[in-house]
Amino acid sequence: MGRVIVVANQKGGVGKTTTVANLGAALAELGQRVVLIDLDPQGSLTAGLGFDPYSLTRTAYTLLTRERVSFGSVLRTVNDRLVLVPASVDLALLDVEIGADTQHAFRLRAAIESSRVAADFFLIDTPPNLGLLTANGLVAARELLVPVQCTYLAMRGVRGLLESVGRIHDRLNPELELLGVLATLYKAGSEHAYEVLEELRVTFPSRLLSTVIEEDDAAAQAPAAHQTVLTYRPQSESAGAFKRLAAEVIRNGRH
């Protein structure tokens, strides 16, 4: 089975979905076979890749609520090496459907383990909370990637997040490791952003990834064109950054 990476931060708007889409596309460009999994009822990843979370019938929801649904049957093709398990809006009702009990946090893991999908990477996008969907992501994965927006308030939340993840690690998934903290939405030329980045370097000396994702309009525009930034603006700053991130993630996996 490939590497399973969950991208999580309970703070909203820090670049989780942007990271999943573009890191996935960059890994695929490097020849890796990648499965993206959208666990967010908002369906931003799904919509940004051109699928409609309001009308899809076989989605992550199907996978999490029905035992006999095959993993392959919910996949949507993005390109040769990139496929998506889409979200649907009914994911918001998952707690009601299967109960918020932590035993239900193992459903995604079971689905991935029993899938016969040949993939080098599974990248999981999660909603901005630590509810049952995020728990499913944290239990299914071996590696956690935490995007952090380069602002003071966003940075302050990271310690709390890592404490909550530590509890999930101890109780539900002792195999989970921190792949890294990723600085996102970095405003080039901003003194505040620079200071926050320095503080992240001091706080997470061995955990802060060396790739920094700068704020770049191309990254924000690509989903409206139903593309990743790698095809939308291949020469942009953020396309380059996500390629460097993909190379770094591949290197970090060779322990």
Ligand X SMILES: Nc1ncnc2c1ncn2[C@@H]1O[C@H](COP(=O)(O)OP(=O)(O)OP(=O)(O)O)[C@@H](O)[C@H]1O
Q: How far is CA 54 from the centre of its chain?
A: 21
d(CA 23, CA 20): 5
Q: Which two tokens stand for residue 80?
A: 């040769």
Q: How many residues bind Mg ion (CB under 5 A)?
A: 3
Interaction of residue 17 with Mg ion, rule CB under 5 A: yes
Give whole-number Cα distances, 176 to 79, 143, 151, 162, 189, in Å. 29, 6, 27, 12, 36
78: helix, strand or coil: strand
Residues that bind ligand X (CB under 6 A): 12-18, 40, 42, 44, 128, 184-185, 213, 215-216, 219-220, 238
Task: State the binding partner of 213 from ligand X, Mg ion, none, CB within 5 to 8 A by kind.
Answer: ligand X
Interaction of residue 109 with Mg ion, rule CB under 5 A: no
Give whole-number Cα distances, 210 to 20, 28, 108, 198, in Å. 17, 21, 30, 12
Closer CB to ligand X, residue 70 or residue 190?
A: 190
Interaction of residue 18 with Mg ion, rule CB under 5 A: no
Instruction: Tell me the closest approach of the beta carbon of residue 226 to Mg ion, in angstroms.
Output: 16
For Mg ion, the binding residue among 7, 8, 14, 16 (CB under 5 A) is 16
Interaction of residue 19 with Mg ion, rule CB under 5 A: no
d(CA 159, CA 165): 10
* Cβ-based neighbours of 91, under 8 Å, separated by 6 or more: 39, 40, 41, 43, 59, 60, 61, 64, 133
Closer CB to ligand X, residue 112 or residue 182?
A: 182
d(CA 213, CA 239): 9
Task: State the binding partner of 4 from Mg ion, ligand X, none, CB within 5 to 8 A by kind.
Answer: none
Task: State the binding partner of 13 from Mg ion, ligand X, none, CB within 5 to 8 A by kind.
Answer: ligand X
Contact 87, 53 (CB under 8 A): yes
Task: State the binding partner of 238 from ligand X, Mg ion, none, CB within 5 to 8 A by kind.
Answer: ligand X
Interaction of residue 81 with Mg ion, rule CB under 5 A: no
Closer CB to ligand X, residue 110 or residue 240?
A: 240
Task: Give the contact letters, 40-59, x = binds to Mg ion (CB under 5 A), - = no.
Answer: ----x---------------
175: helix, strand or coil: coil
96: helix, strand or coil: helix
Closer CB to ligand X, residue 213 or residue 249?
A: 213
d(CA 40, CA 183): 21
Interaction of residue 11 with Mg ion, rule CB under 5 A: no
Closer CB to Mg ion, residue 16 or residue 76?
A: 16
Closer CB to Mg ion, residue 17 or residue 149?
A: 17
Instruction: Tell me the closest approach of the beta carbon of residue 125 to Mg ion, in angstroms.
Output: 6
Residues near Mg ion (CB under 5 A) = 16-17, 44
